[in-house]
Protein backbone atom coordinates (compact mmCIF):
# COMPACT_ATOMS: atom_id res chain seq x y z
CA UNK A 1 0.00 0.00 0.00
CA UNK A 2 1.23 3.52 -0.86
CA UNK A 3 1.94 5.44 2.37
CA UNK A 4 0.03 8.63 2.98
CA UNK A 5 -0.18 11.23 5.73
CA UNK A 6 -3.21 12.58 7.55
CA UNK A 7 -3.92 16.07 8.87
CA UNK A 8 -6.71 16.21 11.44
CA UNK A 9 -8.04 19.61 12.49
CA UNK A 10 -10.23 20.30 15.49
CA UNK A 11 -11.48 22.51 18.27
CA UNK A 12 -13.15 21.19 21.44
CA UNK A 13 -14.11 17.86 19.85
CA UNK A 14 -13.82 15.78 23.01
CA UNK A 15 -14.25 12.03 22.60
CA UNK A 16 -14.92 12.45 18.89
CA UNK A 17 -11.30 13.50 18.47
CA UNK A 18 -10.03 10.29 20.08
CA UNK A 19 -12.03 8.24 17.59
CA UNK A 20 -10.87 10.39 14.67
CA UNK A 21 -7.16 10.22 15.54
CA UNK A 22 -7.26 6.50 16.36
CA UNK A 23 -8.86 5.70 13.00
CA UNK A 24 -6.32 7.85 11.16
CA UNK A 25 -3.35 6.29 13.00
CA UNK A 26 -4.52 2.80 12.05
CA UNK A 27 -4.05 3.44 8.32
CA UNK A 28 -1.70 6.42 7.83
CA UNK A 29 2.08 6.75 7.84
CA UNK A 30 1.97 9.91 9.98
CA UNK A 31 -0.80 11.91 11.61
CA UNK A 32 -0.69 15.61 12.47
CA UNK A 33 -3.32 17.12 14.73
CA UNK A 34 -3.86 20.90 14.43
CA UNK A 35 -5.70 22.49 17.34
CA UNK A 36 -7.51 25.82 17.06
CA UNK A 37 -7.59 27.04 20.65
CA UNK A 38 -9.46 24.16 22.30
CA UNK A 39 -10.57 24.72 25.87
CA UNK A 40 -11.10 21.02 26.55
CA UNK A 41 -8.51 18.23 26.72
CA UNK A 42 -8.09 17.87 22.94
CA UNK A 43 -4.36 18.68 22.89
CA UNK A 44 -3.60 16.31 25.78
CA UNK A 45 -5.65 13.56 24.13
CA UNK A 46 -3.76 13.94 20.86
CA UNK A 47 -0.38 13.86 22.58
CA UNK A 48 -1.38 10.79 24.54
CA UNK A 49 -2.11 9.03 21.26
CA UNK A 50 1.38 9.84 20.00
CA UNK A 51 0.49 11.99 17.00
CA UNK A 52 2.26 15.20 15.99
CA UNK A 53 0.48 18.14 17.62
CA UNK A 54 0.49 21.69 16.27
CA UNK A 55 -1.30 24.41 18.25
CA UNK A 56 -2.30 27.50 16.28
CA UNK A 57 -1.26 30.88 17.69
CA UNK A 58 -4.46 32.58 18.98
CA UNK A 59 -3.05 35.98 17.97
CA UNK A 60 -4.39 35.30 14.47
CA UNK A 61 -8.04 34.40 13.70
CA UNK A 62 -8.76 30.68 13.59
CA UNK A 63 -10.19 29.07 10.47
CA UNK A 64 -10.33 25.62 8.89
CA UNK A 65 -8.26 26.88 5.95
CA UNK A 66 -5.50 28.13 8.23
CA UNK A 67 -5.51 24.89 10.24
CA UNK A 68 -5.21 22.68 7.15
CA UNK A 69 -2.36 24.75 5.75
CA UNK A 70 -0.57 24.59 9.10
CA UNK A 71 -0.97 20.83 9.29
CA UNK A 72 0.32 20.39 5.76
CA UNK A 73 3.36 22.54 6.60
CA UNK A 74 3.97 20.61 9.84
CA UNK A 75 4.45 17.42 7.82
CA UNK A 76 7.62 19.00 6.45
CA UNK A 77 9.38 18.52 3.10
CA UNK A 78 9.31 14.74 3.41
CA UNK A 79 5.51 14.63 3.43
CA UNK A 80 3.92 11.75 1.54
CA UNK A 81 2.76 11.92 -2.07
CA UNK A 82 -0.83 12.06 -0.82
CA UNK A 83 -2.24 13.83 2.24
CA UNK A 84 -5.70 13.21 3.64
CA UNK A 85 -7.42 16.07 5.45
CA UNK A 86 -9.88 14.96 8.11
CA UNK A 87 -12.04 17.02 10.45
CA UNK A 88 -11.85 16.14 14.12
CA UNK A 89 -15.47 15.02 14.25
CA UNK A 90 -14.97 12.53 11.42
CA UNK A 91 -13.79 8.91 11.38
CA UNK A 92 -11.83 7.76 8.34
CA UNK A 93 -13.18 4.45 7.06
CA UNK A 94 -10.48 1.73 6.94
CA UNK A 95 -11.07 0.61 3.34
CA UNK A 96 -11.26 4.10 1.87
CA UNK A 97 -7.58 5.20 1.64
CA UNK A 98 -6.46 2.27 -0.54
CA UNK A 99 -9.44 2.81 -2.85
CA UNK A 100 -8.81 6.57 -3.09
CA UNK A 101 -5.04 6.25 -3.64
CA UNK A 102 -5.58 3.68 -6.36
CA UNK A 103 -7.92 6.12 -8.08
CA UNK A 104 -5.37 8.96 -7.92
CA UNK A 105 -2.69 6.63 -9.28
CA UNK A 106 -4.92 5.85 -12.26
CA UNK A 107 -5.96 9.47 -12.89
CA UNK A 108 -2.93 11.72 -13.27
CA UNK A 109 -5.03 14.88 -13.65
CA UNK A 110 -6.90 14.28 -10.39
CA UNK A 111 -5.72 16.82 -7.82
CA UNK A 112 -7.94 15.40 -5.12
CA UNK A 113 -10.56 12.75 -4.53
CA UNK A 114 -13.28 12.30 -1.94
CA UNK A 115 -16.08 9.84 -1.32
CA UNK A 116 -19.29 9.63 0.65
CA UNK A 117 -19.26 11.36 4.00
CA UNK A 118 -22.18 10.16 6.08
CA UNK A 119 -23.74 11.06 9.39
CA UNK A 120 -23.32 8.75 12.37
CA UNK A 121 -26.95 9.27 13.44
CA UNK A 122 -28.98 10.72 10.57
CA UNK A 123 -32.27 9.82 12.25
CA UNK A 124 -31.44 11.54 15.55
CA UNK A 125 -32.89 14.85 14.33
CA UNK A 126 -34.19 16.53 11.21
CA UNK A 127 -31.00 18.64 11.27
CA UNK A 128 -28.77 15.56 11.22
CA UNK A 129 -30.81 14.14 8.36
CA UNK A 130 -30.39 17.30 6.29
CA UNK A 131 -26.65 17.32 7.01
CA UNK A 132 -26.34 13.73 5.80
CA UNK A 133 -28.38 14.62 2.69
CA UNK A 134 -26.06 17.57 2.04
CA UNK A 135 -22.98 15.32 2.19
CA UNK A 136 -24.25 13.21 -0.71
CA UNK A 137 -22.58 15.31 -3.40
CA UNK A 138 -22.68 14.60 -7.16
CA UNK A 139 -19.98 12.35 -8.60
CA UNK A 140 -17.58 13.40 -11.32
CA UNK A 141 -14.33 15.26 -12.10
CA UNK A 142 -15.57 18.75 -11.15
CA UNK A 143 -17.06 18.01 -7.76
CA UNK A 144 -16.82 20.39 -4.80
CA UNK A 145 -15.72 18.68 -1.61
CA UNK A 146 -16.42 19.04 2.07
CA UNK A 147 -13.60 19.21 4.64
CA UNK A 148 -12.44 15.61 4.34
CA UNK A 149 -10.50 14.92 1.16
CA UNK A 150 -7.41 13.10 -0.13
CA UNK A 151 -5.11 15.60 -1.90
CA UNK A 152 -2.20 15.08 -4.25
CA UNK A 153 0.71 16.94 -2.59
CA UNK A 154 2.01 18.43 -5.85
CA UNK A 155 -1.41 19.88 -6.63
CA UNK A 156 -1.72 21.53 -3.24
CA UNK A 157 1.75 23.02 -3.45
CA UNK A 158 1.07 24.32 -6.95
CA UNK A 159 -1.93 26.44 -5.91
CA UNK A 160 -0.51 27.49 -2.54
CA UNK A 161 -2.86 25.53 -0.31
CA UNK A 162 -6.15 26.74 1.09
CA UNK A 163 -7.12 30.41 0.91
CA UNK A 164 -6.98 31.60 4.53
CA UNK A 165 -9.11 34.64 3.73
CA UNK A 166 -12.12 32.28 3.67
CA UNK A 167 -13.84 31.72 7.01
CA UNK A 168 -16.49 29.63 5.21
CA UNK A 169 -16.57 27.95 1.81
CA UNK A 170 -12.82 27.31 1.83
CA UNK A 171 -13.34 23.75 0.53
CA UNK A 172 -15.33 24.88 -2.51
CA UNK A 173 -12.75 27.60 -3.17
CA UNK A 174 -9.92 25.05 -2.93
CA UNK A 175 -11.57 22.78 -5.50
CA UNK A 176 -12.37 25.66 -7.85
CA UNK A 177 -8.80 26.97 -7.72
CA UNK A 178 -7.49 23.48 -8.49
CA UNK A 179 -9.84 23.31 -11.47
CA UNK A 180 -8.63 26.72 -12.66
CA UNK A 181 -5.06 25.34 -12.52
CA UNK A 182 -6.05 22.40 -14.73
CA UNK A 183 -6.62 19.74 -12.06
CA UNK A 184 -9.69 17.55 -11.67
CA UNK A 185 -11.52 17.30 -8.34
CA UNK A 186 -13.25 13.95 -8.15
CA UNK A 187 -16.11 12.62 -6.06
CA UNK A 188 -16.17 8.83 -6.40
CA UNK A 189 -18.22 6.06 -4.87
CA UNK A 190 -17.20 4.61 -1.53
CA UNK A 191 -17.73 5.36 2.15
CA UNK A 192 -15.02 7.85 3.16
CA UNK A 193 -15.76 9.28 6.61
CA UNK A 194 -18.37 9.01 9.34
CA UNK A 195 -19.31 12.50 10.51
CA UNK A 196 -20.84 13.26 13.90
CA UNK A 197 -22.67 16.56 13.56
CA UNK A 198 -24.78 16.18 16.73
CA UNK A 199 -27.16 18.86 15.49
CA UNK A 200 -29.94 18.05 17.91
CA UNK A 201 -31.43 21.53 18.40
CA UNK A 202 -32.46 24.52 16.35
CA UNK A 203 -29.73 26.99 17.35
CA UNK A 204 -26.62 25.12 16.11
CA UNK A 205 -28.37 24.18 12.88
CA UNK A 206 -29.40 27.82 12.28
CA UNK A 207 -25.78 28.96 12.73
CA UNK A 208 -24.64 26.27 10.31
CA UNK A 209 -27.06 27.59 7.69
CA UNK A 210 -25.94 31.16 8.40
CA UNK A 211 -22.35 30.03 7.79
CA UNK A 212 -23.42 28.50 4.48
CA UNK A 213 -24.97 31.80 3.42
CA UNK A 214 -21.78 33.65 4.29
CA UNK A 215 -19.82 31.22 2.09
CA UNK A 216 -22.11 31.96 -0.88
CA UNK A 217 -21.05 35.59 -0.73
CA UNK A 218 -17.35 34.79 -0.36
CA UNK A 219 -17.41 32.37 -3.29
CA UNK A 220 -19.26 34.89 -5.48
CA UNK A 221 -16.61 37.52 -4.78
CA UNK A 222 -13.77 35.16 -5.74
CA UNK A 223 -15.39 33.04 -8.44
CA UNK A 224 -18.18 35.12 -9.97
CA UNK A 225 -21.20 33.03 -10.98
CA UNK A 226 -20.28 30.04 -8.80
CA UNK A 227 -23.08 29.36 -6.31
CA UNK A 228 -25.48 31.71 -8.08
CA UNK A 229 -28.38 29.25 -7.72
CA UNK A 230 -27.85 29.01 -3.94
CA UNK A 231 -27.74 32.79 -3.62
CA UNK A 232 -30.90 33.21 -5.68
CA UNK A 233 -32.77 30.65 -3.59
CA UNK A 234 -31.63 32.29 -0.36
CA UNK A 235 -32.77 35.75 -1.51
CA UNK A 236 -36.02 34.44 -3.01
CA UNK A 237 -37.24 32.14 -0.23
CA UNK A 238 -35.50 33.87 2.64
CA UNK A 239 -36.41 37.45 1.66
CA UNK A 240 -38.62 38.10 -1.36
CA UNK A 241 -41.35 35.55 -0.65
CA UNK A 242 -41.82 36.52 3.04
CA UNK A 243 -41.82 40.21 2.07
CA UNK A 244 -44.50 39.64 -0.58
CA UNK A 245 -46.56 37.71 1.95
CA UNK A 246 -46.33 40.60 4.42
CA UNK A 247 -47.26 43.15 1.76
CA UNK A 248 -50.20 41.01 0.70
CA UNK A 249 -51.40 40.58 4.27
CA UNK A 250 -51.31 44.34 4.87
CA UNK A 251 -52.22 45.78 1.46
CA UNK A 252 -53.85 43.22 -0.84
CA UNK A 253 -55.12 39.88 0.48
CA UNK A 254 -55.11 38.04 -2.92
CA UNK A 255 -51.34 38.52 -3.09
CA UNK A 256 -51.02 36.92 0.35
CA UNK A 257 -53.12 33.94 -0.78
CA UNK A 258 -51.06 33.60 -3.97
CA UNK A 259 -47.83 33.53 -1.95
CA UNK A 260 -49.26 30.82 0.32
CA UNK A 261 -50.15 28.75 -2.76
CA UNK A 262 -46.60 29.13 -4.13
CA UNK A 263 -45.12 28.09 -0.76
CA UNK A 264 -47.49 25.14 -0.59
CA UNK A 265 -46.56 23.94 -4.06
CA UNK A 266 -42.86 24.19 -3.27
CA UNK A 267 -43.25 22.28 -0.02
CA UNK A 268 -45.31 19.61 -1.78
CA UNK A 269 -42.57 19.12 -4.38
CA UNK A 270 -39.85 18.89 -1.74
CA UNK A 271 -41.94 16.56 0.43
CA UNK A 272 -42.38 14.17 -2.46
CA UNK A 273 -38.66 14.36 -3.12
CA UNK A 274 -37.86 13.28 0.43
CA UNK A 275 -40.56 10.61 0.40
CA UNK A 276 -38.63 9.01 -2.47
CA UNK A 277 -35.80 8.65 0.06
CA UNK A 278 -38.12 6.36 2.06
CA UNK A 279 -39.20 8.95 4.63
CA UNK A 280 -42.77 8.74 5.84
CA UNK A 281 -44.98 11.67 4.68
CA UNK A 282 -45.02 13.48 8.03
CA UNK A 283 -41.25 13.42 8.46
CA UNK A 284 -40.73 14.30 4.81
CA UNK A 285 -42.91 17.39 5.26
CA UNK A 286 -40.98 18.43 8.39
CA UNK A 287 -37.70 18.06 6.50
CA UNK A 288 -39.05 20.13 3.60
CA UNK A 289 -40.26 22.88 5.95
CA UNK A 290 -36.93 22.95 7.77
CA UNK A 291 -35.06 23.19 4.48
CA UNK A 292 -37.19 26.18 3.44
CA UNK A 293 -36.72 27.83 6.83
CA UNK A 294 -32.97 27.47 6.41
CA UNK A 295 -33.10 29.93 3.49
CA UNK A 296 -33.77 32.73 6.01
CA UNK A 297 -30.54 31.87 7.83
CA UNK A 298 -28.64 31.64 4.55
CA UNK A 299 -29.88 35.09 3.57
CA UNK A 300 -28.75 36.48 6.93
CA UNK A 301 -25.30 34.97 6.34
CA UNK A 302 -25.18 36.45 2.85
CA UNK A 303 -26.14 39.88 4.20
CA UNK A 304 -23.48 39.57 6.90
CA UNK A 305 -20.86 38.95 4.21
CA UNK A 306 -22.01 41.98 2.21
CA UNK A 307 -21.87 44.14 5.34
CA UNK A 308 -18.37 42.94 6.19
CA UNK A 309 -17.21 43.72 2.67
CA UNK A 310 -18.79 47.15 2.67
CA UNK A 311 -17.21 47.95 6.04
CA UNK A 312 -13.83 46.61 4.89
CA UNK A 313 -13.54 44.23 7.82
CA UNK A 314 -12.56 40.57 8.00
CA UNK A 315 -15.34 38.18 8.88
CA UNK A 316 -15.41 36.45 12.26
CA UNK A 317 -15.46 32.68 12.42
CA UNK A 318 -19.04 31.33 12.54
CA UNK A 319 -19.11 28.28 14.81
CA UNK A 320 -22.17 26.09 15.05
CA UNK A 321 -21.03 23.61 17.70
* Closest-CA residue to 269 (of 242, 244, 230, 237): 237
Same domain, 247 and 133: no
Residues 110-135 as b or e (16 or more Cβ within 10 Å = b) = bbbbbbbbbbbebeebbbbbbbbeeb
Q: Which CATH number fits the domain that encloses residue 34? A: 3.90.550.10
Same domain, 193 and 290: no
Same domain, 104 and 179: yes
pLDDT in tens, the chain (321 residues): 568 999 999 999 988 999 999 999 999 999 999 999 999 999 999 999 999 999 999 999 999 999 999 999 999 999 999 999 999 999 999 999 999 999 999 999 999 999 999 999 999 999 999 999 999 989 999 999 988 999 999 999 999 999 999 999 999 999 999 999 999 999 999 999 999 989 999 999 999 999 999 999 999 999 988 889 999 999 999 999 999 999 999 999 999 999 999 999 999 999 999 999 999 999 999 999 999 999 999 999 999 999 999 999 888 888 887
Global confidence as pTM: 0.93
- Asked if the structure places residue 316 within a domain, the reply is no
Q: Which residues pair with 5 in a beta bridge?
A: 30, 83
**How far is Cα 182 from Cα 296, in angstroms, rounded to an integer?**
36
Q: Coil, strand, or helix at residue 3?
A: coil
**How far is Cα 306 from Cα 147, in angstroms, rounded to an integer?**
24
CB 213 within 8 A of CB 308: no
Find the domain containing 302 and state its range. 206-311
Laid out side by side, the sheet with 30-35 consists of 52-55, 30-35, 5-10, 82-87, 149-152, 110-119, 184-195, 90-92
**How far is Cα 153 from Cα 162, in angstroms, rounded to an integer?**
13
Same domain, 121 and 32: yes
Same domain, 122 and 225: no
Last residue of a domain, one of 171, 200, 229: 200
How many structural domains comprise the chain? 2
Same domain, 39 and 131: yes
Last residue of a domain, one of 143, 177, 200: 200
Amino acid sequence: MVPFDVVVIGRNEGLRLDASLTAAKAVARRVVYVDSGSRDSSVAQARALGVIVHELDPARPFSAARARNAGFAALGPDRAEFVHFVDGDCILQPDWPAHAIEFLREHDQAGLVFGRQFEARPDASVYNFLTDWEWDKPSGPKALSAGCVLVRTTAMVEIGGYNEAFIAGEDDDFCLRLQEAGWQTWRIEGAMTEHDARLLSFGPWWRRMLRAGYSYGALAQRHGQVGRAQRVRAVLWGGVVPLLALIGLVVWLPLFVLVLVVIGLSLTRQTRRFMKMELDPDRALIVACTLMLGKHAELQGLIRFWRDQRAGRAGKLIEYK
